[in-house]
């Protein structure tokens, strides 16, 4: 199992709150951060945050946070401390499968 480099919880407004450690695994593409080929244990998430995340659906267009079928997570900020409301999350069905498999509830 990999070392956790990203923690997700809920903030006081019930938005998903991401806190990323400095890691070469995160790629800054100028308009956002990307984590590719996510491995089991790299992402720790609270039970409440996971429940909120799994309520989200596939949404078209650019969103505040994107989950792609090929185990890529991206968010529209270069910050390592970022919050995003559920209505701004794109979580397609295939991505839900790998999220449930790879994210570790803490």
Task: Indicate the number of domains in the chain.
Answer: 1
Q: Is residue 79 part of a domain?
A: yes
Domain assignment present for residue 30? The answer is yes
Residues contacting 81, CB < 8 A, separation 6+:
17, 18, 19, 20
What pTM did the predictor assign?
0.91
Residue 80 lies in a domain: yes
Identify whether 52 is part of a domain.
Answer: yes
pLDDT digits (tens, 9 = 90+) for 57-75: 998 877 899 999 999 999 9
| pLDDT value of residue 23 | 86
Give the Cα separation of 54 and 31 in Å (integer).
25
- Domain span at residue 32? 6-105
**For 3-48, how does the pLDDT look when each residue is reduced to its tens digit (9 = 90+)?**
899 999 999 999 999 999 988 999 988 888 999 999 999 999 999 9
Give the distance, in angstroms, between the CA of residue 76 and the centroid of all CA atoms in the same chain.
Answer: 11
């Amino acid at each position: 199992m990999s070392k956790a480099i990203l923690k997700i919880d809920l903030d006081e407004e019930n938005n998903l709150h991401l806190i990323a450690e400095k890691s070469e695994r995160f790629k800054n593409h100028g308009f956002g951060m990307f984590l590719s080929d996510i491995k089991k244990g790299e992402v720790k998430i609270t039970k409440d945050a996971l429940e909120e995340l799994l309520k989200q659906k596939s949404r078209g267009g650019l969103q505040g946070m994107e989950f792609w079928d090929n185990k890529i997570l991206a968010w529209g900020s270069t910050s390592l401390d970022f919050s995003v409301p559920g209505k701004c999350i794109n979580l397609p069905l295939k991505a839900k499968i790998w999220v449930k498999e790879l994210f570790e509830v803490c």
